[in-house]
Each structure stands twice: as C-alpha cells, then as structure tokens.
Amino acid sequence: AMPGPPVVAAAAPMKPDFSHLELNSKNSQPFHQYMEGRATNLANIIWDHSQDRNSWGVCLVCNIEFPANMASHIWGNKHWSKLKERLNWEEPRSPEDLERHTQFFALKPGAPMTGYRFNHVTGEQSFCPYPADLPGPTAALPAAVPAVVP
C-alpha cells in the first residue's frame, strides 16, 4: 500500500514565517516589500476611522510620534532597524513574545469596532475592541476578529 502523506504536527499552531525580517542582513528590501501593502492598509484604516487626524499616536517600535506618512514610516529603514533592535535580533520565541509588538489604535465612534490592532512584526491587523485600561503594549489582548484585507 502507498504510504499516506506525512503527518505534520497538525495540532500545533503554525509558526509565522519571519524570513522578511532579514535579522542578520543589511538588506531591508524584503521587509519593505512584505510590509508596504500591510502598512498602507493600516494607514488607510486609521485615516478613515482615527479619532484625531492630526496625530496618529506614537510608534510602539520607535517611540516617536508617527510622521504624516505612517505607511512609509512602518516599512522604512529606521523602523526596520529599531524593530530588529527591539527583537534583540532574534525571531519571537512565543506567541506572547510576538504579541508584545502589537500596537492598538483607538477609533472614533461609527468605526466597525472601538479599536484596531497592528502587529509590527507580521503586519497582521484587524478591528478589535480597544483595550479600555491599556497600560502599555503588554496589556491583555482582546479577541481579534479576522482581518478584512482588500
């Protein structure tokens, strides 16, 4: 009898592919290419639903006010360098470690939900309940709704 397909640890959640981080390289192109569409999507959502169009808030990674062009900041070289520093030049070791790179944005009334989450490592993003008592980036995480990516 022909052997069936190999069983690949189906129970464990899939580890995200972090190859776009290029942790040991000076070449930011893979990160730029990977993040450009995701960052642009984020910027468009925040523009449409932000409480204050004069301020996007402070970048979780760089600890500076987001510039007017949030998307190009996120896929840019300085942000990529700071992200690698923040990761200590290592891939996140656990879902919790990965989650500490998730930034939450409060949205204005009328938005699909009260918040939006964006992970600076994977670019994963979705509407979510904004954590009301958000003390910082390590706050308990709300359940995310699947992202609607155009």
pTM of the model: 0.77
Measured CA to CA, the distance from residue 79 to residue 42 in angstroms comes to 15
Measured CA to CA, the distance from residue 87 to residue 97 in angstroms comes to 9
147: left (phi over 0), alpha (psi -120 to 50) or beta: beta
Tokens of 38: 């995701």
78: left (phi over 0), alpha (psi -120 to 50) or beta: alpha
pLDDT value at position 37? 97
Beta strand pairing call for 115-119 and 102-106? antiparallel
pLDDT tens digit at each of 150 positions of the chain: 656 665 554 455 677 778 788 777 788 899 999 999 999 999 999 999 988 778 888 999 999 999 999 999 999 999 999 999 999 989 999 999 999 999 999 999 999 999 999 999 999 999 999 987 664 333 334 444 444 544
